[in-house]
Structure 1
Amino acid sequence: MALLAQQVVAMTGLTPTYSAAAASTTVTCGERSFLHVKNTNGSSMTVTITATGRLRGQLAADLVVTVPATTGDKMIGPLPAELFASTADGVSASITYSSTTGVTVANIVI
């Protein structure tokens, strides 16, 4: 899994750089970390962020977001560590995409 670089919003503005979506990626979790997904494909697609957090012993549900077809644009987050951080490294969230054709992503930190 490739780690998407964090792009920090500054007072002077941010022009995000988008990467083609891979089958699976990771982002660094945080209360100010967001995933921006754009879909130009003719079909909608889903983004799944794997939950690792527990509440009273019960695993939290994965976060599944549908991104509409053609002009789909979703800002997903924040991505708090207590819900999404990997048990392997404690800081990165695992993300999968139902389709990668026409899908670009950016990891935005506000």
Structure 2
Amino acid sequence: MALLAQQVISRAGTTPTYSAAAASTTVVTGDRSFLHVKNTNGSSMTVTITTTAQVDGQAAADLVVTVPATTGDKMIGPLSARLFASTADGFSAAITYSSTTSVTVANLVI
């Protein structure tokens, strides 16, 4: 899984750089970390962020977000470490995409 570079949003304004979605990626978690997904494909698609948190010994459900077809545009987050940080490294969240055709993503931090 490739780690998406974080792009810091500044008061002066930020023009995000988007990369083509891969089947699976990771991002650094944090209370100010967001994923911006754009879908220009003719079909809707889903983004799944693996949840690692547990409540009373039960695994919390993964976060699944549907991004509409053609002009779909979703900001997802914040990607809190309490919910999404990998048990292997303690800081990254695993993300999968149901489709990567005509899908671009950016990892933004405020």
Per the TM superposition, whether the score is higher than 0.5 is yes
**2:93 alignment counterpart:** 93
Residue 104 of structure 2 corresponds to 104
CA RMSD of aligned residues (A): 0.4
- What's the CA shift for 1:47? 0.1
Q: For the residues of structure 2 that align with 1:48 and 1:95, how far apart are their CA atoms?
A: 6
1:34-53 mapped onto 2 (5 Å cutoff): 34-53=34-53
C-alpha distance in 2 between matches for 1:72 and 1:5: 22
Question: What fraction of aligned residue pairs are identical, expressed as a percent?
Answer: 82
Aligned-partner Cα distance in 2 for 1:31–1:56: 23
Letter in 1 for 2:99: S
Counterpart mapping for 1:65-76 below 5 A? 65-76=65-76
Q: Point out 4+ residue stretches in structure 1 off by more than 3 angstroms.
A: none
Deviation at 1:56, TM superposition (A): 1.2
Aligned to 2:2: 2
Q: Distance in 1 between matches of 2:6 and 2:72?
A: 22
5+ long unaligned stretches in structure 2: none
Give CA deviations for 1:27-67 in whole Å, capped at 9, x if unaligned.
00000000000000000000000000011111110000000
Q: TM-score, normalised by structure 1?
A: 0.99
Where does residue 17 of structure 1 map in the other structure?
Answer: 17
Query: What runs of 5+ residues in structure 1 fail to find an aligned partner?
Result: none
**How many aligned residue pairs are there?**
110
How does the TM-score come out when normalised to structure 2? Answer: 0.99
